[in-house]
A = this chain, B = another copy of it.
């Protein structure tokens, strides 16, 4: 399963909007605007203009502005959970599984879904509490993937720290790359992955 086929399968199951369709294009533009200007500073007029319609027409597709934010987050988590799962399955050793997870998360943050991932991190508070609960349930599945791999490394005696703490630290560290990492800066995502592994003292395994 490569990335494209994973995406197509999710689209087929109606779990993620077709990026080529009207809804998918809007969500993509919304993610960009939300990341660049923030959710609150982005007006429905901005969103409408980005896809070339009138602001009122947005409400034919979404009932509220917040529903757009939620859709961006939900679809992003669904896609990335599937990508992570595939990355873990494809790796063999425990250490390689962790490296695959790190690499996959760096890619989701700094690649195609980067805008949406940034929104997930920085616009969290703009979601209503009810929506937060719903999105959190999805995120738990995602987190479980990480914890299982980290736990095995802990049992192998390779990881000295608590898996829960490590996962949260890695969440922060990897998310934060969105604020400084630029692919054209002479550092590839593979380099970056290697740096993280090195930082954790796992290079010589």
Contact = CB atoms under 8 A, between A and B. Distances in A.
Interface string A168-205: 11111111110110000001000010011011111100
A149 to B, nearest CB: 15
B41 A161 contact: no
How large, as a class, is the contact surface on chain A?
35 or more
Interface string A32-43: 000001101100
B201 A160 contact: yes
A179 B168 CA distance: 9
Nearest to A197: B161
Given A40-B38, A41-B40, A125-B37, A198 B168 contact: no
A62 interface: no
Contacts of A160: 198-199, 201, 203
B166 A199 contact: yes
B196 A168 contact: no
Contact of A38 (B126, B170, B202): B126
A196 to B, nearest CB: 7
Contacts of A59: none
Given A41-B126, A160-B198, A169-B177, 6 more contacts: A38-B126, A168-B180, A169-B173, A169-B195, A171-B176, A201-B202
Contacts of A126: 38, 41
Given A172-B172, A177-B172, A161 B38 contact: no
Contact of A200 (B125, B176, B177, B199): B199
A1 interface: no
Nearest to A192: B165
Nearest to A162: B195
Nearest to A203: B160
Contacts of A176: 168-169, 171-173, 175-176
Contact of A168 (B38, B162, B168, B177): B177
Contact of A172 (B40, B41, B174, B202): B174
